[in-house]
């Protein structure tokens, strides 16, 4: 069936738009002019715009700029956007104008088009009513902050909390198990397995604290600065009023940015927050690597823990099972670290009163949040909850470690302890045998002080 079109007009003239779409001329021009890549404006940004436009309408009504009927109509359509009911009407590419103007207009046009359909009369104009007291230059940075905070709170924090809870349980379940510590990929002094797990847990707790600290800047909104930060065409107190409605509508303590000139041209809050995401990615990389090293084998590796076998690991080697969840974590970590470079570079490119690298910044930021949340959930569900210590292997490796000789330092000194370790390694004998052979301690004295399980 052939697509039907309708005629729309903007300041540049007439253009044909699909009849079943709510967008109008400016969205259609962007579709035609930016056929670049497959990356579309994230749905999280569109949802954030729903909250933003609803709050702006409420503020304009309160300040006497917009009548109650139009305010109610805009809010009704925004609620549909927030609920995801108008998904097919936001088709624009990430790779568009660097200010995000075309996506701001896409939202304005859809709200106007859908609102006029509901009212059965042409009540809403995308610029005059939906975009009232606003500019793309302050709305897009605002939508970036709203989307970022909402995704962090709704997706990432629950994922982090879930893995923290799993590690807490593993700590409790593995108390009393002593294993070999390792530094520089070499044997070190003993450590309780629960202590090792506690290090993983605290990495996540610290990462969450860092992200929460970064949230403070993200909760400041540029809205009210309009085109260059002066607030031109916005009524007095619009910035404070609209921020209050964003807070009310989202349940998140958003406030107006004190300096709108900074809010429009700087992305340092996004950079700072993404740095915390990068730190989380680095911690997850470390945790995943620890887990797959400890589970390496099953016979010719460390093999000190077992992890769930979720799927066949090889197309040629029967029975092989790989640490695939760990590998997914490490790939996500690489992507997030790469995204951090893009976010930092984009933030450095602001000129005068505006940064025009906004879509690429928020695309990478939201991808990082989404990937981290998803992979942490996956790792938790498909790997971490099933970690089990191989006590026999841990005990064998522990008692075979030459670095247990450190326990002898207080009795025979560092230099003599080094001689013991070197002799034991050279002749492939135990530390006890080496100590006695060097006539540094009697067997009875050695047994009295050499207790690996008490070295933690």
CA distance 67 to 57: 9
What 3-state DSSP class applies to 192?
strand
Residue of 129, 184, 207, 417 marked active site: 184
Distance of CA 115 to the CA centre of its chain: 35
Buried-exposed string 107-116: b where 16+ CB fall within 10 A, e elsewhere: bbbbbbbbbb
Give the strand pairing for 255-256 and 220-221.
Answer: parallel
Q: Cis peptide before 173, with omega less than 30 degrees from 0?
A: no
Q: Which burial class, exposed, middle or buried, applies to 309 when counting CB atoms under 10 A from its CB (0-12, 13-18, 19+)? A: middle
184 classed as catalytic: yes
135 classed as catalytic: no
Report yes or no: 93 and 34 within 8 Å, Cβ to Cβ. Answer: yes
> Helices 101-119 and 136-151 meet at what angle, rounded to 10?
90
Residue of 262, 314, 368, 378 marked active site: 314
Report yes or no: 423 and 412 within 8 Å, Cβ to Cβ. Answer: no
Q: Is the dihedral of CA 17, 22, 25, 29 positive or negative?
A: negative
* Tokens linked to 64: 């006497």
Nearest to residue 197, comparing CAs of 113, 342, 294, 120? Answer: 294
Please enumerate, as own/partner, the contacts of 108-112 that have beta carbons within 8 Å and a separation of 24 or more.
108/53, 109/22, 109/23, 109/24, 109/25, 109/26, 109/27, 110/22, 110/23, 110/27, 110/77, 110/81, 110/86, 111/53, 111/74, 111/77, 111/78, 111/81, 112/22, 112/24
Kindly list the distances between the CA atom of residue 401 and the CA atoms of 67, 433, 447, 448, in Å, as whole numbers in the listed order. Answer: 79, 14, 16, 18
CA distance 323 to 308: 9
Q: Cis peptide before 93, with omega less than 30 degrees from 0?
A: no
Question: Catalytic amino acids?
Answer: 184, 314
């Amino acid at each position: 069936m052939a697509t039907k079109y309708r005629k729309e007009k903007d300041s540049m003239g007439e253009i044909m738009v699909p009849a079943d779409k709510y967008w109008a001329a400016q969205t259609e021009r962007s579709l035609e002019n930016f056929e670049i890549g497959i990356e579309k404006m994230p749905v999280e940004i569109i949802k954030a715009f729903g909250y933003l436009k609803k709050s702006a309408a409420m503020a304009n009504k309160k300040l006497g700029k917009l009548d109650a009927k139009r305010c109610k109509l805009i809010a009704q359509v925004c609620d549909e956007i927030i609920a995801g009911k108008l998904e097919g009407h936001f088709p624009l590419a990430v790779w568009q104008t660097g200010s995000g103007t075309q996506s701001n207009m896409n939202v304005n046009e859809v709200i106007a088009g859908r609102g006029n359909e509901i009212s059965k009369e042409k009540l809403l104009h995308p610029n005059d009513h939906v975009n009232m007291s606003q500019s793309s230059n302050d709305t897009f940075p605002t939508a970036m902050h709203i989307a970022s905070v909402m995704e962090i709170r709704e997706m990432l924090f629950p994922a982090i909390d879930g893995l923290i809870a799993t590690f807490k349980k593993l700590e409790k379940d593995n108390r009393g198990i002593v294993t070999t510590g390792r530094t520089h990929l070499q044997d070190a002094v003993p450590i309780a397995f629960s202590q090792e797990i506690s290090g993983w847990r605290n990495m996540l707790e610290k990462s969450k604290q860092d992200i929460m600290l970064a949230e403070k800047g993200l909760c400041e909104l540029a809205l009210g600065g309009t085109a260059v930060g002066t607030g031109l065409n916005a009524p007095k107190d619009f910035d404070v009023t609209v921020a209050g409605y964003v807070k009310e509508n989202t349940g998140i303590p958003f406030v107006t940015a004190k300096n709108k000139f900074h809010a429009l041209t700087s992305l340092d809050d996004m950079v700072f927050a993404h740095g915390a995401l990068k730190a989380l990615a680095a911690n997850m990389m470390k945790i995943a690597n620890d887990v797959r090293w400890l589970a390496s084998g099953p016979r010719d590796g460390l093999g000190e823990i077992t992890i769930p076998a979720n799927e066949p690991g090889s197309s040629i080697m029967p029975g092989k099972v790989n640490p695939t969840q760990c590998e997914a974590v490490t790939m996500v970590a690489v992507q997030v670290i790469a995204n951090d470079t893009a976010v930092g570079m984009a933030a450095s490119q602001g000129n005068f009163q505006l940064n025009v690298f906004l879509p690429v910044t928020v695309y990478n930021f939201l991808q990082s949040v989404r990937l981290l949340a998803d992979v942490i959930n996956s790792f938790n569900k498909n790997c971490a909850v099933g970690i089990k210590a191989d006590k026999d292997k841990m005990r064998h490796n522990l008692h075979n470690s030459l670095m247990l000789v450190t326990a002898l330092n207080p009795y025979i000194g560092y230099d003599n302890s080094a001689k013991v370790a070197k002799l034991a390694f050279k002749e492939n004998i135990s530390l006890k045998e080496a100590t006695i052979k060097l006539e540094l301690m009697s067997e009875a004295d050695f047994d009295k002080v050499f207790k690996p399980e008490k070295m933690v």
